[in-house]
């Protein structure tokens, strides 16, 4: 992480640049001072050598000239050699003796010839044994006739100059070392000024990547970094505003989808489920094992009926409608394609549960058909017998009374039929509110038995309550009595005069009530249909006082409205048992 830090990279870059610059400048200054001091010293030696040459030429007093030359040599701590073509005047040495100067540091014959040609010659040499640097100059001796007759050679050790130059170089080193140390601090400061805003921008950018747009970059400069910081602040504000708008639209869309009673499912082009509203989620949890919201599930995990519909919709690329049945329920399916760049990118599916609508539609049709069928006979009889009375076909008062009695009975039967039809229609449409109360089952059954014993003394009624404790339940007493009366009436109608009717009550997981008779029984093939409206079994179970054919259908709806069940088992010639199961009263 440290190696990748922009602070370290920038800091090291500045330091390396500063170090290279300081090193280059140090070498340059060292060389410059070296050349400067040596050139200055060479010029000084040349001046002294020329002065000595003038003394040699223009001083006729040799002794005085020698003293002057000696003083000049001592002044510069040098050795002076004066040589002419005709004679060697000699050597004056206040510095190193001439024999101490190695051959490589002395002037060569070529150098001397060059001086005799009128040139001044300078050179730098080194005494190897002592590592002492020697500066040497040679100038011509020119007489008054402008003739060169000799050479003045000056040899001076450069130890003092070297020490001065070394001190200057050390001063440069110290100065540049301090400058480099200061540059470290300055580079770190400059790096921080550049990197701190960048790091802050990075933090804000990471927050923006995480969906947080509240970060603000503190802009302290007016340069490019400051401009970038202000731009990012504006970008964060714009993105925050856009995200808030999108979230608001998303919430509105979610509210609309959540408030819909229809199931809405979005499927992408890869045929995966990507969005589902709450009603759709309930269906998907039923169809897909371990379904979890937010995961993309392939449509192949849906019921096969839907898979075929969805795949067919992808091929049509237009709004399509389907009707299908799954898990015993009916659905109307509407599918609209989703387009992106003029290509289908998925579909939106709306599943509407039309089970109840179809059931109600069937109820309406059945009601009309049943009413038309069941009312036709009594109405025809009423019409026929009333016409007979009107046409005076029945001359005999007894016959007229008989016809009037038939008309009366049929009108009563028709009234009962209409009332039963209305009750059944309301029950099936869930339009009847139950008036429930807590009651003791044995008490209801006992009261019913007492009433029937008085009305049907020839019948043998038996009531059996299992267990010693009272059985309580929460029911609509009038409706449950209606069911029991219907079952007992059926038992009375379909048993002989001395028939036995037994009523039992017991408490298990549910409250069990059984009405058993020893009548003629119901054929096995008719048992599954006894609770259907207007269904009547074999004529063997029909008596002169036939019912409307709706009693058991009404009874079934009443029991189911109490979250219970009613069933029947029967055997021809041995009798029939109707069993009612009702929820027991919670403790």
Judge if 362 and 444 occupy the same domain: no
Q: How confident is the model at residue 101 (pLDDT cuts 50, 70, 90)?
A: low
**Structural domain boundaries, residue 379:** 357-428
Q: Is-contact 217 211, C-beta < 8 A? A: no
Judge if 474 and 416 occupy the same domain: no
Judge if 419 and 535 occupy the same domain: no
Judge if 17 and 148 occupy the same domain: yes
pLDDT on residue 545: 47
> Could you tell me which of 50, 55, 43, 68 has the C-alpha nearest to residue 135?
43
pLDDT on residue 363: 66
Do the domain assignments include residue 405? yes
More confident residue, 138 or 289: 138
List pLDDT tens digits, range 441-454: 888 888 888 888 87
Last residue of a domain, one of 323, 353, 383: 353
Judge if 153 and 279 occupy the same domain: no
Residue 379 has pLDDT above 90, yes or no: no
Last residue of a domain, one of 166, 200, 217: 166
Range scoring the smallest mean pLDDT among 53-62, 311-320, 411-420? 53-62
More confident residue, 22 or 437: 437
List pLDDT tens digits, range 347-367: 888 888 888 888 778 767 776
Helix (H), strand (E), coil (C) string for 494-546: CCCCCCEEEEEEEECCEEEEEEEECCCCCCCCCHHHCCCCCCCCCHHHCCCCC
List pLDDT tens digits, range 380-417: 777 877 877 777 776 777 877 887 887 887 788 778 77
pLDDT on residue 582: 92
Number of domains in the chain: 4
Q: How confident is the model at residue 579 (pLDDT cuts 50, 70, 90)?
A: very high
d(CA 149, CA 83): 9
What is the domain-level CATH number for residue 364? 1.10.287.130
Do the domain assignments include residue 179? no
List pLDDT tens digits, range 520-540: 888 888 888 888 877 665 444
What is the domain-level CATH number for residue 108? 3.30.450.20
Q: How confident is the model at residue 374 (pLDDT cuts 50, 70, 90)?
A: low
Do the domain assignments include residue 473? yes
Q: Which residues of 146-184 are buried (b: 16+ CB within 10 A; e: fewer)?
A: eeebbbbbbbbbbeebbeebeebbeebeeebeebbeebe
Residue 577 has pLDDT above 90, yes or no: yes
Bridge-based pairing of strands 148-157 and 79-84 is antiparallel
Mean predicted confidence (pLDDT) in 68-91: 69
Residues 6+ apart with CB under 8 A from 37: 161, 164, 165, 168
Judge if 271 and 363 occupy the same domain: no
More confident residue, 125 or 445: 445
Last residue of a domain, one of 428, 453, 480: 428
Residue 468 has pLDDT above 90, yes or no: no
Judge if 338 and 387 occupy the same domain: no
List pLDDT tens digits, range 211-227: 777 767 777 777 777 78
> Could you tell me which of 199, 196, 238 has the C-alpha nearest to residue 221?
196
List pLDDT tens digits, range 244-275: 888 888 788 777 777 777 888 888 888 888 88
d(CA 191, CA 152): 63
Which range has the top average pLDDT, 169-178, 295-304, 333-342, 473-482?
473-482
> Could you tell me which of 580, 413, 563, 430 has the C-alpha nearest to residue 505?
580
Judge if 12 and 161 occupy the same domain: yes
pLDDT on residue 15: 79
Judge if 288 and 366 occupy the same domain: no
Judge if 379 and 494 occupy the same domain: no
Q: How many other C-beta atoms are found inside a 10 Å radius of the C-beta of residue 524?
A: 10
Do the domain assignments include residue 252? no
Backbone phi, then psi, for 246, in 5-degree steps? Answer: -65, -40
Residues 6+ apart with CB under 8 A from 349: 263, 264, 265, 266, 267, 310, 313, 333, 334, 335
Q: pTM value?
A: 0.42
Mean predicted confidence (pLDDT) in 185-192: 79
Mean predicted confidence (pLDDT) in 547-576: 87
Judge if 295 and 443 occupy the same domain: no
Using alpha carbons only, give the angle 376, 381, 384 rounded to the nearest 5 degrees.
120
């Amino acid at each position: 992480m440290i190696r990748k830090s922009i602070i370290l990279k920038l800091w090291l870059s500045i330091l390396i640049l500063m170090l290279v610059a300081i090193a280059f400048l140090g070498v340059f200054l060292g060389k410059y001072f070296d050349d400067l001091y040596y050139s200055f010293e060479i010029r000084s030696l040349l001046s002294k050598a020329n002065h000595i040459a003038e003394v040699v030429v223009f001083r006729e007093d040799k002794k005085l000239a020698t003293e002057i030359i000696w003083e000049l040599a001592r002044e510069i701590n040098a050795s002076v050699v004066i040589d002419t073509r005709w004679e060697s005047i000699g050597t004056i040495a206040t510095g190193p003796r001439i024999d101490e100067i190695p051959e490589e540091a002395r002037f060569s014959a070529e150098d001397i010839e060059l001086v005799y040609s009128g040139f001044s010659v300078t050179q730098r040499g080194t005494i190897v044994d002592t590592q002492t640097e020697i500066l040497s100059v040679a100038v011509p001796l020119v007489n008054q006739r402008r003739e060169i007759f000799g050479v003045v050679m000056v040899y001076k050790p450069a130890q003092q100059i070297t020490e001065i130059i070394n001190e200057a170089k050390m001063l440069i080193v110290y100065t540049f070392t301090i400058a480099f140390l200061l540059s470290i601090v300055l580079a770190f400061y400059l790096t921080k000024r550049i990197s701190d805003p960048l790091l802050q921008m990075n933090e804000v950018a990471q927050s923006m990547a995480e969906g947080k747009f509240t970060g603000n970059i503190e802009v302290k400069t007016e340069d490019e970094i400051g401009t970038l910081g202000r731009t990012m602040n504006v970008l964060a504000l714009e993105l925050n505003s856009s995200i808030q708008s999108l979230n608001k639209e998303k919430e509105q869309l979610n509210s609309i989808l959540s408030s819909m009673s229809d199931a809405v499912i979005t499927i992408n082009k890869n045929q995966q489920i990507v969005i589902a509203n709450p009603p759709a989620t309930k269906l998907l949890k039923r169809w897909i094992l371990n379904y979890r919201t937010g995961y993309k599930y392939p449509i192949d995990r849906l019921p096969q009926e839907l898979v075929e519909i969805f795949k067919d919709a992808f091929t049509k690329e237009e709004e399509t409608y389907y009707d299908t049945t799954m898990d015993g329920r009916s659905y109307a399916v509407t599918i609209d394609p989703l387009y992106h760049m003029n290509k289908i990118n998925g579909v939106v599916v709306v599943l509407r549960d039309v089970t109840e609508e179809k059931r109600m539609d069937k109820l309406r049709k059945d009601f009309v058909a049943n009413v038309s069928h069941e009312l036709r006979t009594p109405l025809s009889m009423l019409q026929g017998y009333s016409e007979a009375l009107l046409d005076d076909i029945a001359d005999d008062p007894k016959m007229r009374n008989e016809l009037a009695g038939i008309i009366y009975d049929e009108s009563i039967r028709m009234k009962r039929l209409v009332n039963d039809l209305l009750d059944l229609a309301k029950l099936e449409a869930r339009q009847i509110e139950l008036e429930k109360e807590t009651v003791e089952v044995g008490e209801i059954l006992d009261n019913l038995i007492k009433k029937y014993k008085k009305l049907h003394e020839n019948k043998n009624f038996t009531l059996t309550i299992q267990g010693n404790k009272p059985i309580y339940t929460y029911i609509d007493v009038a409706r449950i009595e209606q069911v029991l009366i219907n079952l007992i009436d059926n038992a009375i109608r379909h048993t002989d005069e001395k028939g036995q009717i037994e009523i039992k009550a017991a408490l298990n997981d549910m409250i069990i009530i059984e009405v058993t008779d020893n009548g003629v029984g119901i054929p096995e093939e008719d048992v599954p249909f006894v609770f259907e409206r207007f269904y009547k079994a074999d004529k063997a179970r029909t008596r002169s006082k036939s019912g409307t054919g709706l009693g058991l259908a009404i009874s079934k709806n009443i029991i189911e409205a109490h979250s219970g069940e009613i069933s029947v088992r029967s055997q021809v010639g041995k009798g029939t048992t109707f069993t009612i199961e009702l929820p027991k009263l919670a403790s």
